[in-house]
Amino acid sequence: MRRKCNPGYLAHEKTASPVHQKQAFVQTKYIFVTGGVTSSLGKGIICASLGRLLYARGLRVTIQKFDPYINVDPGTMNPYEHGEVYVTDDGAETDLDLGHYERFLGVPTSQANNVTTGRIYSDVIAKERAGVYLGKTVQVVPHIIDEIKHWMMKLGGTGEFDVVINEIGGTVGDIEGQPYLEAMRQLRYELGRKNTMNIHLTLVPYLSAAGEVKTKPTQHSVKTLLSFGLQPDVLVCRTDRPLGTDVRKKLALFCNVDQEAVIASQDAESIYEVPLLMKEEGLDQIVVERMDLEQVIKERVSTQRGLDDWIQFVRRIKEPKATVQIALVGKYVAHQDAYKSISESLLLAGAEQGVHVDVRPVLSDMVDEDNIQELLGDVSGVLVAPGFGDRGIDGKLDAARFAREKRIPYFGICLGMQCAVIEYARNVCAWENAHSTEFDPSTDYPVIDLMEEQKSIADKGGTMRLGAYDCEIQEGSRVAKIYGRLQTRERHRHRYELNNELREGLISNGLMCTGINPKTDLVEIIELPDHPWFVGVQFHPEYKSIVGAPHPLFESFVGASMKYAKEKDLVESPRPVQRDKRIQLASAKME
C-alpha cells in the first residue's frame, strides 16, 4: 500500500506529528519573501516549495501571507477580483495562497497566517479608542509598523516553529507595501543577520527582438529594495528558459548577491515540480547555511522525511495511466483561481489513482435544457461548485438534474448541495416552486433557508458560519464507507442551510440526510442511495486535501467517475507528457 506523503497532517482528525508538537525553544528564524517587476510571479508557490524542502529536513515550518490591501480579509471580495477565498479551521477567510501552504506542507494554518493592512489598521484604531497608546499621537511610525512586526513574529513567538516564512503581497515599490518593508528592515536590525533573511522573487524576461535575456528589470527592482534599506540575500529569477552562468554573474555583481544565491525558477508544467527544481538549484541549502540551521537539523534526525514520496507523487502526475473528464459547473469558471482548491483536490485525488483529471469548466450561466447534452453529455463526473447570488442558479439546477437522471457521478459542494436538494424537491417530490429563500423569499417550499443565527446579522464581512464543525455520519451510508468512520470535522462558509421543517418530506421521497451536526441538527451531507454516486455536502472538503492525502470524498468521486468512464467507454488515453529533463535530473540526484 502506498505510503502517504504527510502522515502528520491534522486534516482527517489525526494526532499532530511530533515535528509540530511544542519542543524546547530555539530562536525562530524569519524569512521574508518579496516580489518585484510584476505581480503573479508565484511568490506563494516559492514560499510553499521552500517550506516543503525545509520540512523534509525535519524543521518545523509555517508560512504567513501579508496582503497590503485595506480589506480586513478577502471574504467580501469578488472571486474575479481576488480568486478563491480559503477558510481555515478557526474560521478565518484568507488568501488562496494559504491553500498552497497547507497542500504543500500538510500543516493547518490559522487566523494568524494571513494579515491584511485592513486588519492592521483596524487593530491599531481599536487600541487607540481603548486608550492603549495613553494619549499619544497614533502614526504609521511607530504604531502601524509595530503592529505589523507583532504579527510577523506572532507565530514564531509560540516556540512551535523553527522557521517562519513571511510572504509580502504585491511588488516592491507599491505605495501600500512600504510599511511592510519598513517592518522587515527593523526586524532585520533587531533580530540580527542569522535570524532574518530576504528572498526576492523577480522577473528575468527574454526579449525576442533582441534575442537575449534582460537583467535590467531585476536590477531596478533590487535598487528599489535598497532604497528601503533592504539588501536581498537570494534572488529567485522567474524565467522561461535556463539562466546561463554569464547572466547569473551579472545579476550577482549588480545586485550585491552571491552568485550561488542567484536561483533560476524556470516555468514548470506543474506547481508540484517546483520544490524539486528549487532543490536542484540549492535554495534550501542556501537558507540552512545562511541561517545557521545545521545543528537544529542534526537534532531532528527522527523527523526528517526526505523527498522520496514527493518525487513519486510528481511522477504519478506526469505519467498517468488514463484521463477522465469531469465538469466543474460554476459562475466563476472564467477565473483560473476562483475554484483553486477544488481543481487542485481533483488533481491530487487523480494522482493517487494514477489518473489525470481533465477539468472541463462549464459556466453555469450558459447551461440550459437545450444545450446541456452538448455541455455535459460526454463527461464522467459533474461537480457543482459553491457560490453566492442567483446568477447561474438555473444552470446549476439543470446540471444536478442531468447528473441525477443520467446516473453520472455528482458531487455538490455547499451551494452545489443546496442546488441538488432544490432540484430533487421540484422534480422528485413534485414541490413545483421549491427554492432557496436566498433566491426566492416567497417560495411555498423553502427547502433551503437562512440559518436562524444569521437573520439578525447586517454586516457581511466575517459573519457567515465559518471554520470547522463536527459532523456525525449515518452508519451504513455511502459516506460512512468513504470516510471509514462515523465522525468527521469539516470547514464551512455559508449562511443558508437545508430547512429542517421540510427534511422529513425530502427523506420520505428518497433523499438521505447522512451527515448531521450533533449540536445544531444541521444537515451536512445528503446522498441518493439508488444512484451510482450522488453526494452533496454543506461544507468545503476541498480545504482538507493535501499532497499524498486527498480528501476521501474527492478520492471516491474521482474513482466513481473513472468507473463510469470505463462503463461508458469514455476513458481517454493519458496526456502525451514529455517528462521534464530537469525533473529527471533532480529525481536522479535525490535518489
Catalytic annotation, residues: 414, 540, 542
The strand pairing partners of 448, in sequence order, are: 436, 498
Residue 511: count other Cβ atoms within 10 Å of its Cβ: 25
Distance CA 436, CA 248 (A): 59
* Dihedral angle, C-alpha 399, 402, 407, 410, nearest 10 °: 10
Give the length of the chain. Answer: 591
DSSP E strand boundaries for 169-275? 196-203, 206-207, 212-213, 234-239, 262-266
DSSP for 56-114, written as a single string: HTT--EEEEEEE-SSSSSGGGS-HHHH-PPEE-TT--EE-THHHHHHHHH-----GGGE
Q: Smallest Cα–Cα separation from 544: which of 2, 8, 9?
A: 9
Q: Are 151 and 120 in contact (CB under 8 A)?
A: yes
Q: At what angle do helices 308-318 and 340-352 cross, to 10 degrees?
A: 100
Distance CA 39, CA 425 (A): 46
Full 3-state SS string of 341-384: HHHHHHHHHHHHCCEEEEEEEEEHHHCCCCCHHHHHCCCCEEEE
Full 3-state SS string of 118-151: HHHHHHHHHHHHCCCCCCCCCCHHHHHHHHHHHH
Residue 580 carries which side chain, given as an amino acid letter? D
Distance CA 521, CA 273 (A): 44
Residues sharing a CB contact under 8 Å with residue 312, sequence separation 6 or more, in sequence order: 2
Distance CA 480, CA 341 (A): 23
Distance CA 379, CA 360 (A): 8
Q: Smallest Cα–Cα separation from 536: which of 452, 420, 382?
A: 420
Distance CA 28, CA 86 (A): 26
What sign has the CA pseudo-torsion 107, 110, 115, 120? negative
Q: Smallest Cα–Cα separation from 49: which of 67, 37, 61, 35?
A: 61
Residue 1 DSSP SS3:
coil
Q: How far is CA 312 from CA 178, 225, 584, 591, in A?
A: 42, 39, 12, 11
